[in-house]
Amino acid sequence: MANCMVFHTQIASIMEVLANAAVAEICKLVDDDYAVFRLEITQSQKENRALRRKLLELKVARERAERTIPERVLASRPSSVKILDRYRGMARGEGHLTGGHRSFVKPAEHNTWRDDQPITVDEGSGTSTQHVIVIESADAESAGPGVKQERSDGKDDLWRSRDIQTGVPPVITEVPTTAPAQPRTQRSITEVSGTPNVVLKSQTDTKTLTVTHRLLHTGSDPERLGKLGCPAPGSEYLPVFLQSQRTVNSYGDGDVLDTGGDDPSCSYATEMDSSNMPLGLETQTDLSRGDWNQYSSSVYSEGCLDEKGEVIVIDEVTVKVEGDAPPTWNADSHLGDGHSQGTSFLDYRGSLETNPNVPTLSTLHTLRDRDPVSMSMGPSDSHGHVLFNQVLNSNDTARAQAQEGGATSGNSKEKRFLCMFCNKGFSCPKKVEIHQRVHTGVKPFNCTQCHMRFAQAGDLKKHQRVHTGEKPYSCTQCEKRFSRQDHLKMHLKVHTGERPFACTHCGKRFSERRYLRIHQQKNHSTL
DNA sequence: CTGGGGACGGGGCCC
DNA sequence: AGGGCCCCGTCCCCA
């Protein structure tokens, strides 16, 4: 019995020892694994820190490089920008390319908004039955080798997606407008192809901005593409501009290269600061207000509407800022036909505050260099601003004011196609497109004899008589000849003594309005 | 010499 | 595409 008790005691002791040993072993294993795990974590953290440091260095280096672009170089290189345009889907893919650097954009397989996945957006506030926008994909490979493709990370995607879904423009704050409501018979944008509409690439100091504009209609076959023209009355074209690119780099003063902030995955992605955007198209489409037709066609594209008016036009404008670009605006396209879809520099800063009809506060400045030789396309903010204000304060504003609300007033013709900048209305997308060149500064028509560029073909034709010396209009009174009919008409006042402009204060009459204006300013300015 | 006015050429823009 | 108008810059003339 005693032996039995001793035996049990020994067994219990052995069991305890074994159990302790097992626990110790387990603890050891856990400790070892934990140590390894901690080591791995530490290494990962170190790698992350190193990557962040590199990223930061890259940002700083890039900003520094862009800051150090000599202004004199820019001044001698007014055209550091190439506007690329491409129509897609012309006649189902035959492609009516309107010229320029078409090869710059290639079919896309990736999306800078969200990889390989179109964003479907519900407009939300509308009352119509269709509320879908599909953001097309962008090509990450189109820039060729060496090009670093930047795309948004998930956080940014969420941000953009949220903005779209709520109908809030991603950049600009909206200002309430009393502009009449736009026709809203159509609120559906369907994806037409998988080709890109948003591309942001960067290669050293080369940046590419692709902006897609869509011209929509309510036709039954939205994919039919054709030649742009004025749609037949009653057709339902709804030009739409999609703010498709938030990020852009340019020759800034270094003040614009917010390279993504806390977004380490977007080393080249730059927040487009509305007040600080040196280059690019900054537009907005207020989905909530249904301003679907604020933008028509592309900035300068020739547009594509077929005769039946059942067309969706999807075109792209790629703004390529090339640090090594030649000083000419469109070296490879301005020569020749004079109708090349040339280049232009788009730079919007500030606002269209001078125009009361502006429905949005797009921050628009432009470097509308009237002298392509001497004027810099560089970060001459004040210069560009002055020029832009010149434009607005002279022609545009005066005319917009004269039209009392621009777009929607005073014309029996239906002008449903509104300028997205000044809200002026036009009867067809083509006219809107041409008109909007006033704001965008796009001048597709280049003189082959000089560096002059024009927004309209007729202007180029007029200008070319400067070179040719052609003066087809002769005065019947004095044999004097003129290159333009309106000049002849003005000249005829010399013979007729016509002075239609009378001063309301002193009665003095003038042959031209400007003389009257100058006269009144100098002599009756206090009145 | 200076300033006002006229003439002309040119660009911009709309119709 | 062309016409027409507006605006501006420049040059010239003349008081």
Nearest Cα to A82, choosing from A439, A344, A437?
A344
- Greater confidence (A501 vs A389) lies with A501
CA distance A380 to A377: 7
Cβ burial of A377 (10 Å; 0-12, 13-18, 19+) is buried
- What predicted TM-score, i.e. pTM, was given to this entire model? 0.37
User: pLDDT tens digit string along A363-400?
Assistant: 333 333 333 323 333 333 333 333 333 333 333 333 43
pLDDT for A12 beyond 60: yes
Name the nucleotide nearest A486; use CA and C1'.
C4
Chain C nucleotides covered by protein, CB below 7 Å = 1-9
CA distance A274 to A66: 19
If DSSP codes are grouped into helix, strand and coil, which group holds residue A453? strand
> Rounded mean pLDDT of A27-55?
65
State the pLDDT at residue A522.
Answer: 78
Chain B nucleotides covered by protein, CB below 7 Å = 3-15
User: pLDDT tens digit string along A401-445?
Assistant: 333 333 333 344 577 788 888 888 888 888 888 999 998 888 989
Write out residues whose CB is closer than 7 A to strand C.
A 394-395, 398, 456-458, 461-462, 484-486, 489, 512-514, 517
How many Å apart are A77 CA and B5 C1'? 40
CA distance A481 to A487: 9
* Terminal-to-terminal C-alpha distance of chain A: 134
State the pLDDT at residue A63.
Answer: 65
